[in-house]
Amino acid sequence: MPPMPQSVGQHGPSTSQKLMMGAMMGGTVGLTIGFIFGTWSILKNGAGPNGITRTLGQYMGGSAATFGFFMSIGSVIRTEAPETSNIASEAWARSRGAPILMAYQAEKAKQRMATQ
Protein backbone atom coordinates (compact mmCIF):
# COMPACT_ATOMS: atom_id res chain seq x y z
CA MET A 1 0.00 0.00 0.00
CA PRO A 2 1.47 3.44 -0.92
CA PRO A 3 2.19 5.92 1.86
CA MET A 4 -0.13 8.80 2.57
CA PRO A 5 0.75 11.96 0.64
CA GLN A 6 2.40 14.60 2.77
CA SER A 7 0.90 18.06 2.78
CA VAL A 8 3.27 21.00 2.73
CA GLY A 9 1.33 23.30 5.02
CA GLN A 10 -2.05 23.92 6.50
CA HIS A 11 -4.78 24.74 4.07
CA GLY A 12 -7.00 27.76 4.63
CA PRO A 13 -10.76 27.69 4.94
CA SER A 14 -12.82 26.95 1.85
CA THR A 15 -15.03 29.50 0.14
CA SER A 16 -18.18 28.10 1.73
CA GLN A 17 -16.55 28.23 5.16
CA LYS A 18 -15.60 31.87 4.55
CA LEU A 19 -19.19 32.57 3.45
CA MET A 20 -20.56 31.09 6.68
CA MET A 21 -17.94 32.87 8.78
CA GLY A 22 -18.81 36.20 7.15
CA ALA A 23 -22.52 35.57 7.68
CA MET A 24 -21.98 34.77 11.35
CA MET A 25 -19.79 37.82 11.93
CA GLY A 26 -22.22 40.07 10.07
CA GLY A 27 -25.16 38.57 11.93
CA THR A 28 -23.48 39.23 15.26
CA VAL A 29 -22.71 42.82 14.32
CA GLY A 30 -26.26 43.22 13.00
CA LEU A 31 -27.79 41.91 16.21
CA THR A 32 -25.75 44.36 18.23
CA ILE A 33 -26.55 47.32 16.00
CA GLY A 34 -30.21 46.29 15.86
CA PHE A 35 -30.34 46.13 19.64
CA ILE A 36 -28.79 49.58 20.00
CA PHE A 37 -30.91 51.33 17.37
CA GLY A 38 -34.04 49.35 18.23
CA THR A 39 -33.76 50.29 21.89
CA TRP A 40 -33.18 53.92 20.94
CA SER A 41 -36.20 53.91 18.65
CA ILE A 42 -38.43 52.29 21.28
CA LEU A 43 -37.32 54.79 23.92
CA LYS A 44 -37.80 57.71 21.54
CA ASN A 45 -41.04 56.74 19.75
CA GLY A 46 -42.57 54.00 21.87
CA ALA A 47 -43.04 50.33 21.06
CA GLY A 48 -46.24 50.67 19.06
CA PRO A 49 -48.98 48.04 18.84
CA ASN A 50 -46.54 45.08 18.65
CA GLY A 51 -44.98 45.61 22.07
CA ILE A 52 -41.40 46.07 23.15
CA THR A 53 -40.13 42.53 22.58
CA ARG A 54 -41.55 42.09 19.10
CA THR A 55 -40.50 45.55 17.94
CA LEU A 56 -36.97 45.10 19.25
CA GLY A 57 -36.83 41.62 17.68
CA GLN A 58 -37.83 43.05 14.31
CA TYR A 59 -35.08 45.66 14.50
CA MET A 60 -32.50 43.09 15.53
CA GLY A 61 -33.58 40.47 12.99
CA GLY A 62 -33.67 42.88 10.07
CA SER A 63 -30.32 44.37 10.94
CA ALA A 64 -28.73 40.94 11.46
CA ALA A 65 -30.02 39.66 8.12
CA THR A 66 -28.78 42.72 6.26
CA PHE A 67 -25.34 42.81 7.87
CA GLY A 68 -24.93 39.04 7.56
CA PHE A 69 -25.85 39.05 3.88
CA PHE A 70 -23.44 41.79 2.91
CA MET A 71 -20.64 40.54 5.15
CA SER A 72 -20.89 37.03 3.67
CA ILE A 73 -20.73 38.39 0.13
CA GLY A 74 -17.80 40.61 1.07
CA SER A 75 -15.86 37.73 2.58
CA VAL A 76 -16.39 35.60 -0.55
CA ILE A 77 -15.31 38.46 -2.81
CA ARG A 78 -12.12 38.82 -0.78
CA THR A 79 -11.32 35.12 -1.31
CA GLU A 80 -8.52 34.81 -3.84
CA ALA A 81 -6.40 31.85 -4.81
CA PRO A 82 -2.70 32.38 -4.09
CA GLU A 83 -1.71 31.49 -7.67
CA THR A 84 -4.02 34.00 -9.29
CA SER A 85 -3.15 36.80 -6.89
CA ASN A 86 0.57 36.48 -7.67
CA ILE A 87 -0.07 36.26 -11.40
CA ALA A 88 -2.41 39.23 -11.29
CA SER A 89 -0.01 41.37 -9.27
CA GLU A 90 2.89 40.52 -11.58
CA ALA A 91 0.80 41.34 -14.66
CA TRP A 92 -0.25 44.63 -13.11
CA ALA A 93 3.36 45.50 -12.30
CA ARG A 94 4.48 44.66 -15.86
CA SER A 95 1.69 46.74 -17.40
CA ARG A 96 2.85 49.87 -15.60
CA GLY A 97 5.53 51.77 -17.45
CA ALA A 98 7.74 54.53 -16.13
CA PRO A 99 5.78 57.68 -15.37
CA ILE A 100 5.93 60.40 -18.02
CA LEU A 101 7.51 62.89 -15.65
CA MET A 102 10.39 60.54 -14.87
CA ALA A 103 10.99 59.93 -18.59
CA TYR A 104 10.98 63.69 -19.19
CA GLN A 105 13.42 64.27 -16.33
CA ALA A 106 15.71 61.52 -17.65
CA GLU A 107 15.64 63.11 -21.10
CA LYS A 108 16.57 66.52 -19.65
CA ALA A 109 19.39 64.96 -17.61
CA LYS A 110 20.80 63.33 -20.75
CA GLN A 111 20.70 66.66 -22.58
CA ARG A 112 22.54 68.41 -19.73
CA MET A 113 25.18 65.69 -19.65
CA ALA A 114 25.68 65.99 -23.41
CA THR A 115 26.20 69.78 -23.24
CA GLN A 116 28.79 69.60 -20.45
Domain ranges of the chain: 14-79
If pLDDT is split at 50, 70 and 90, which confidence band does 13 have? Answer: confident
**SS3 state of residue 38:** helix
CB 79 within 8 A of CB 57: no
pLDDT in tens, 16-72: 888 999 999 999 999 999 999 999 999 999 988 999 999 999 999 999 999 999 999
Q: Taking the model in full, what pTM does it have? A: 0.60
